[in-house]
């Protein structure tokens, strides 16, 4: 019986902590990666970005009085080695997060000259 109650409680806790996956666009160009994420209803101060051990975590909490419960957004990406996680810049406007992750200087494309001997 006790076990069953625990299971029920765990399910409830899981429901109240329901996490939404925001849709994203990821575009790569020669100097880095640009990421756009839709986080509607999240105020600027409730967006959390974290880069740790090549892992980028995007989190946001919705803040809508009229809607019951608070919905959270969360999405995690693994960055590859050539990306410079320390130089990420972020811009947040009307529920859209724009991240720019530059490539490390040594990973920037270089033209390689072929010497003719």
Residue 79 binding other proteins, by CB under 8 A: no
Binding residue for other proteins, selected from 1, 13, 30, 112, defined by CB under 8 A: 30
Residue 84 binding other proteins, by CB under 8 A: no
Residue 26 binding other proteins, by CB under 8 A: yes
Residue 114 binding other proteins, by CB under 8 A: no
Residue 85 binding other proteins, by CB under 8 A: no
Q: What order of strands is seen across the sheet that includes strand 19-20?
A: 19-20, 72-78, 55-61, 47-52
Distance CA(26)–CA(116), nearest Å, equals: 40
Single out the residue of 39, 48, 46 nearest to residue 97, CA to CA: 39
β-strand 19-20 against 72-78: which pairing, if any? Answer: parallel
Task: List contacts with other proteins (CB under 8 A).
Answer: 23-30, 33, 36, 38-44, 63-64, 66-67, 93-96
């Amino acid at each position: 019986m006790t076990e069953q109650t625990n299971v029920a409680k765990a399910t409830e806790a899981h429901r109240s902590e329901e996490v939404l996956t925001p849709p994203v666009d990821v575009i790569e160009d020669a100097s880095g990666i640009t990421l756009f994420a839709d986080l509607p209803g999240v105020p600027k101060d409730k967006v959390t970005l974290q880069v740790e051990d090549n892992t980028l975590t995007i989190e946001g909490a919705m803040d809508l009085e009229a809607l019951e419960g608070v919905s959270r957004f969360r999405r995690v990406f693994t960055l590859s080695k050539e990306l410079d996680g320390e130089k990420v810049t972020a811009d947040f406007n009307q529920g859209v997060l724009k991240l720019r992750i530059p490539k490390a200087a040594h990973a920037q494309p270089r033209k390689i000259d072929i010497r003719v001997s």
